[in-house]
Amino acid sequence: MEESSKKIDFKESIRNLKLTWRFVKRNMKYLILYMLFYIILCIIGVFSPMLAAKQILFINNSNWSPLIQISIFIFIVEITRNVSRFFARKTSQLFFRKTLTDVQLELAKETLKLETEEIDNNSSGIFIDRLNRDTENIADIFASLTEAITEVVVNIGVLGAIFVVNKIIFIYFLCALILLFVLNKIRIKKRFINDKEFRKLREKNTGLIGEMVRGLRDVKVLGAENNFLNVLKNRLYDTNNKRYEMSSVDRKYMLINGSIQDLITLGFMFLSIKLVFLDMLSIENMVILYMYQQRVYNLLNYTSNVLEYLRNFNLSASRVFEILDGEKFRKEDFGTIDLEKVNGDFEFCNVTFGYNRKKAIIKDLSFKINANETVAFVGRSGGGKSTIFSLLTKLYHPRKGKILIDNIDINKLSKNTIRNNISIITQNPYIFNFSIKENLKIVKEDATDEEIVDACKKASLHDFIMSLPDNYDTLVGEGGITLSGGQRQRLAIARAFVKNSEIILFDEATSALDNETQKDIQDAISDMKNKNTVLIIAHRLSTVINSDRILLIDNGNIVGEGTHSELLKNNKLYKELYTSELKNRI
């Protein structure tokens, strides 16, 4: 069992609190106000039992004037308590809202920097769960500690007051606190172990449920509902069973703790009555001590809260800061050379790459593309064509060799130089659950309406958009679910036209289009000739016959290069692929 599950590592807590402070200090005014209001509440909590005791003692007194005065004063105190509680909650919620937003934004920012392989090798639930849930524990820690520590300090003061009033009662309560503290420590330890396992299970469920929603259509058409539900049922059972174990620990503790507290209260009554008969305790002090006993229990409760807050915080902080500042998940690494606009020349020099170390997808691959050239990559499926695009956009890194853009090693170029100057349209583009206009503006925030309309006209999408009830403000659903495959492709193509980068990569980007629409898109691509570097991956060779050059890829190597007519004459594999395509079209 890990050391963190046995006891709280206070050094780790201090380290995590320091790391979290960068978010807290931005919203310190709310935290300070919360502290002030909560201190007022604590002070009221200390003195109100004394006032209540005096009120009780005056009931049998024939002089009602002091009783009325005390009653009015208590009323004012209670109004002050309610107002202070209102503003304490408000400032606490404002602090939490702003801090949570800051933490979540930074975590989202760092998540976007992760290496693509980290995303490939881990469930999406790992990142979603930390972004949604663990950030809440981090944002809440300072407000929670402020409340708990203030209560602890105040209630220690109450315990001191009990010592002054009667030392025998003080020793009695001190022994009771030690007993309850040991019991609570056992509860926290058991709960923490279960909580750690529960969060891991919950991460997996979050990823599985996300896959179910995104793959809903496929699950239905495959008739896989029952099988998928069986997998989900087992996962949910394990997770909720672990949640039940956590609740079971709390439930048993509450029963035992409540019963022991009742016995302690009964013992206190017998002891205080005995002390009153022995003239060692006044009736007034007995009433005050009786009202203070809950404050004694609160000392234990809030001390336990501090320990539990720190345990939960450390667990959440370790999971969040693994992404923010840790080395467990590798981040993308870019160079410092910043080019506002690239020419569009690039070269692969003896590049070898595989998605795992054992098998290479492309092997010792070398070729050069000139600026403003339109080049097609063709070949059988799995030959490495899409991998070339992934390497060019630096989603992955070559195992060997290097890639040059404008004769500069891609590893020396800044992120903006690479990503702002390259657009890629894939076979299955991801469309966000935004409006059509927002999906287009995501690549160029300041894009004008004229630019957006022009891009959609080039992508043969404008007429369809104008037929929708809200035109360009129409929401398209998660993954563009309300659009057909061809419409999603056209929207992705329009997005590339809005971005208007120097290098544009089409990865089977017109595969879902009908012949007429595909011809329109090809005409738009033809208009880019001699203006942009255009690279096209296509299985249908008929769509790329007008390219300046065609590179034939097979098993990760270039096995043919030239124009369509040259390859048709000189390359056996190309001729076979083209002939096979013609037969399939008949």
* Residue ranges making up the domain that contains 365: 346-585
Distances (CA, A) of 458 to 10, 423, 427, 497, 518: 61, 16, 18, 8, 11
Residue stretches of the chain with pLDDT short of 50: 1-6
Query: Comparing C-alpha atoms, which of 450, 444, 457 is closest to residue 501?
Result: 444
Tally the C-alpha atoms within 13 A of residue 321's C-alpha that lie toward its C-beta: 19
Question: Does 309 share its domain with 352?
Answer: no
Identify whether the C-beta of residue 141 lies closer than 8 Å to the C-beta of residue 313: yes
5 located within any domain:
no
Distances (CA, A) of 535 to 12, 60, 516: 51, 97, 22
Distances (CA, A) of 355 to 120, 352, 359, 362, 398: 10, 11, 7, 10, 10
Using CA atoms, how far apart are residues 326 and 307, in angstroms rounded to an integer?
A: 25
Distances (CA, A) of 313 to 170, 185, 316, 323: 33, 17, 5, 16
Q: Any residues with CB less than 8 A from the CB of 519 and at least 6 apart, and which? A: none
Residue 214 confidence (pLDDT)? 65
Count the domains in the chain.
2
How many angstroms separate the first and last alpha carbons of the chain?
Answer: 67
Identify whether the C-beta of residue 423 lies closer than 8 Å to the C-beta of residue 342: no
Distances (CA, A) of 69 to 45, 64, 73, 495: 19, 9, 6, 74
Question: Does 221 share its domain with 99?
Answer: yes
Question: Does 176 share its domain with 48?
Answer: yes
Using CA atoms, how far apart are residues 293 and 265, in angstroms rounded to an integer?
A: 8
391 located within any domain:
yes
pLDDT tens track for 498-524: 888 888 888 876 666 667 777 777 777
Residue 350 confidence (pLDDT)? 92
CATH classification of the domain holding 391: 3.40.50.300
pLDDT tens track for 120-139: 777 777 787 788 888 888 88
Question: Does 314 share its domain with 396?
Answer: no
Question: Does 274 share its domain with 382?
Answer: no
Question: Does 385 share its domain with 512?
Answer: yes
Domain end among 293, 324, 355: 324
Using CA atoms, how far apart are residues 291 and 306, in angstroms rounded to an integer?
A: 24
Residue 3 confidence (pLDDT)? 40
Chain-centre distance for alpha carbon 245: 26
115 located within any domain:
yes
Question: Does 235 share its domain with 365?
Answer: no
Question: Does 426 share its domain with 537?
Answer: yes
Question: Does 265 share its domain with 194?
Answer: yes
Query: Comparing C-alpha atoms, which of 119, 206, 153, 150 is closest to residue 38?
Result: 150
CATH classification of the domain holding 165: 1.20.1560.10
Question: Does 255 share its domain with 395?
Answer: no
Question: Does 490 share its domain with 541?
Answer: yes
320 located within any domain:
yes
Whose structure tokens read 């544009």?
Answer: 504
Identify whether the C-beta of residue 433 lies closer than 8 Å to the C-beta of residue 477: yes
Question: Does 77 share its domain with 191?
Answer: yes
412 located within any domain:
yes
